[in-house]
Amino acid sequence: MKAQNRMTGGWRVAGLMGAAVTLLLAGCGGGGGGSETVVEAPPSSYTVAGTLTGLMPGTELVARDVTPGSSLPSLTLTENGRFQFDGLLYPNESYDIELLASNPAVSDGENRGQSPVMQRCVLQGMSAEGVAEGDADALGNLQIHCSGLFFLFDNQGLPVVSDGNPEGTRSLNVNEELFSGFFLSEGGVLFVTTGNNERHLWFSDGTPSGTQRVAGKNGELLDQLGWSWRTVGNRFYFTNNGLLWVAQGGSAMKVEGPEPGGVVASGLGGMASAGDWLYVISENQVLAINEGGQPLVLLGPDEQPFNASSCGMEGTGDQLYLTCHQGSMEGSWRLDAGESTVRKISSNSSFNNFHAVGALTFFSGYLPAYGRDLWVTDGTESGTFLFSTPNPDPAGSNPTNFRVKGNALFVRATDGVANKIWKFSVVGKTVSLSGPVGSGVESLALHGDSVFFSAPVSPGKPQVWASDGTPGGTYVVKTINPDGAAWPYALESVGDWLFFSAKQDDNGYAAWRTDGTEAGTVMLSPELCEDGAEVWAKVGDTVYYVMFNDEDHSLWKTDGTAQHTTKIAEWKGAADEI
């Protein structure tokens, strides 16, 4: 389901509307002569038309009349420019026009920052409610404008919305510290705050007046949110006072249990998602929940409810993995999304960090003789085994920072000397290994077909590197700090560039971008900060990033060039306004 932004307003069309009709009436008079009097009859119908601007590439806007029995067909727009409805408006009819805009999708392998982008479309130049009064010119020249909104927080941790302009960057008037990220939902975003030792769920349509606490459908206050939540499509699942709830837009309701009229009690097992399904451990059972249906109870090999009393869960792609640590179900299990029976893949329960790559899934596993190393499974017990032990010491290689690009997996692990990067390429169920590359690897990110990472060129002097996974294809992108450590971090692939934060000297961090070449590695602004810069959002071709200091934050935008990098907003001190 697409995340959508909705704007609803009532149009009541009164009077006669349409193109004027000219009638020629013969006047009566003596002398056989006469004169013609021109009378303009009132219009009898009107075709609705206008102009759309600002619609983001790859998205669509649906304008529809939600009045029961309406004869005005819905209109779907996929590009900017002139538009016209097929139907007509007639006298004394009420209309309730709703605008639903899809949000830009994040393509595979491209991370667009901390905030999702919400597209908001509004009708301009004409009230969304009221009487049209037969104004043919206005109704024939409707103006719909769309803009991309993203969300962040100020230096006090309070939520803020921005459309990328100084005047459009404003507080949401929520005086509680942000506790989570922002999650797209129907018509806006959801986020969690903390205040007075409570966690609260909020909904915002991108305006301060449209930002409010989410309540149950019967007005219940939700002030006992648990520590875990999960998004599946437009649905935001969370626990409140020990029960499972789901929010879509600004309202929430309890999730029904497997039995009609029941509810789902959610314990400490947490939640996981795979495909379009949510999985939650409730009263020692695993429930599979999909939109619009009763929860399903997962079964074990004996066709009885799977006992998940000591289990944890992880999802990757369309697969769910359960690791159970005691009892008859001890071991690791797999379920493909949409199925109801789990199958065992190993008696070992010390698995985590699952990542699907083609037909295989890689993960971190532990054995006393080898420590924690890289394992692989094809979903069967016979096809689950220890794959790589680059460190012969029982401490293991401790694989972390799994990064998947198509049918390739990059992993950071230690060979007992230093953290390095290995690349695993999957064709069918065959895996080829290349590497290791780098030494003392820290931050890493995929960009294009390469992995970029931070590693020292000499002891204590890390710089930015790039690699295709082979020693011959590994190089320093640019020596940013020739006299010391650049300490690059917050590497993020956005569009044509890889953005990161680094020190050119010891005076502070600056925001940088690179295309993988020395000449294409550029500092975006000479302004420095104490705690680094992080990419926050991408709207169209513009990237927004935040520079962090102990006492203040600032929001910037760039097209990837230094000359078009500007500061949008700055927050200083507890009492500062944007």
- Is the Cα torsion angle 295, 300, 304, 306 positive or negative in sign? negative
Whole-number Å distance between alpha carbons of 463 and 243:
48
pLDDT at 22: 26
E strand or H helix at 138: helix 136-139
3-state secondary structure (DSSP) of residue 197 = coil
Tell me if the bond preceding 436 is cis, omega within 30° of 0. Answer: yes
pLDDT at 66: 82
pLDDT at 328: 81
Q: How many CB atoms lie within 10 A of CB 260?
A: 7
pTM, entire model: 0.84
What is the edge-to-edge ordering of all strands in the sheet holding 225-232?
215-216, 251-254, 243-248, 235-240, 225-232
- Domain definitions of the chain by residue range: 4-27+35-145, 442-578
pLDDT at 3: 42
Report the DSSP pairing between strands 371-377 and 384-388: antiparallel
Domain 442-578 is of which CATH architecture?
7 Propeller (2.130)
| Nearest Cα to Cα of residue 73 among 84, 59, 60, 57 | 84
pLDDT at 253: 92
Whole-number Å distance between alpha carbons of 496 and 494:
6
Backbone angles phi, psi at 106, to 5 degrees: -95, 120
pLDDT at 234: 82
Residue 481 tokens read as: 């700090």
Whole-number Å distance between alpha carbons of 9 and 128:
5
| Nearest Cα to Cα of residue 147 among 5, 3, 248, 2 | 5
Dihedral, CA of residue 291, residue 292, residue 294 and residue 299, to nearest 10: -30
Average confidence (pLDDT) per 10 residues, the chain, 578 residues: 43 33 32 51 70 93 84 90 86 77 66 77 64 54 91 89 93 90 90 88 93 90 86 89 90 88 76 93 91 87 90 94 88 94 95 95 94 95 91 89 94 94 94 92 91 92 94 95 90 92 89 95 92 89 90 92 94 60
Rounded to a whole number of angstroms, the CA Rg of the chain reads: 29
pLDDT at 265: 85
E strand or H helix at 253: strand 251-254
pLDDT at 267: 62
CB 296 within 8 A of CB 335: no
Amino acid 333 reads: W
pLDDT at 1: 38
Whole-number Å distance between alpha carbons of 131 and 154:
41
pLDDT at 575: 43
What 8-state DSSP symbol labels residue 517? S
What is the edge-to-edge ordering of all strands in the sheet holding 343-346?
311-316, 319-324, 331-336, 343-346
pLDDT at 2: 41
Amino acid 302 reads: D
